[in-house]
Amino acid sequence: MIAVLRLGHRLSRDRRVSTHLALVARAFGASRMVLTCRDERLQSSIAGVCRAWGGSFSIEVEENWRGYLRRWNGVKVHLTMYGEHIDDRIEEIRSAGGDVLVVVGAEKVPAEVFELVDYNIAIGHQPHSEVAALAVFLDRYFEGRELHRDFGGRLRVVPMRRGKRVEER
């Protein structure tokens, strides 16, 4: 099981990016995203996606993120451009087995996060985005298998070379 801890979510200002983060987390194989404050709009928009497209992805709210990090029973990975290159650690992280908590920031991440986790991992050492960093991390972790998963939802895309078709089950 993979969970994503989203640090520093600010209502309205970060909603769009946090929504994209949740969509990517779900589509790329994570089971839940943890927010540090309640955001009804974000939560209901992701719940709507899950109702239509399937899967059991959930959004949880945990204000005490330090406690959540300390209590996590599994591997803790913080995505940061300042960390070790993903290629140097992904096999070790994967082979540890068990649950994985992936921590991503919005603005500046508190310095103690670097100490509270097992791994600080860079998706390259250039600044980019938490959405991109999470997508690449999950894709490398699952070695691409997550993109073939059947979510068993009411709606399903019928792949085609051109045009758009969605089937209702």
CB of 79 to ligand SAM, least distance (A): 4
Beta carbon nearer to ligand SAM, 23 or 81: 81
Two tokens, residue 42: 């974000």
CB of 5 to ligand SAM, least distance (A): 10
114-125 burial: b if 16+ Cβ within 10 Å, else e: eeebbbbbbbee
Contact stretch for ligand SAM (CB under 6 A) within 42-50, 63-71, 118-126, 151-159: 118-126
Does 127 sit near ligand SAM (CB under 6 A)?
A: yes
Pairing between strand 166-168 and 155-157? antiparallel
CB of 156 to ligand SAM, least distance (A): 32
48-66 burial: b if 16+ Cβ within 10 Å, else e: ebbeebbbebbbeeeeebe
Two tokens, residue 101: 């908590």
Does 108 sit near ligand SAM (CB under 6 A)?
A: yes
- Compute φ and ψ for 65, nearest 5 degrees: -70, -30
CB of 147 to ligand SAM, least distance (A): 20
In the region spanning residues 25 to 84, those forming contacts with ligand SAM, defined by CB under 6 A, are 79-81
CB of 100 to ligand SAM, least distance (A): 15
d(CA 44, CA 12): 14
Return the residue matching tokens 């073939």.
148
Rule CB under 6 A: choose which of 2, 21, 22, 133 binds ligand SAM: 133
Residues lying near ligand SAM in the complex (CB under 6 A): 79-81, 104-106, 108-109, 122-124, 126-130, 133
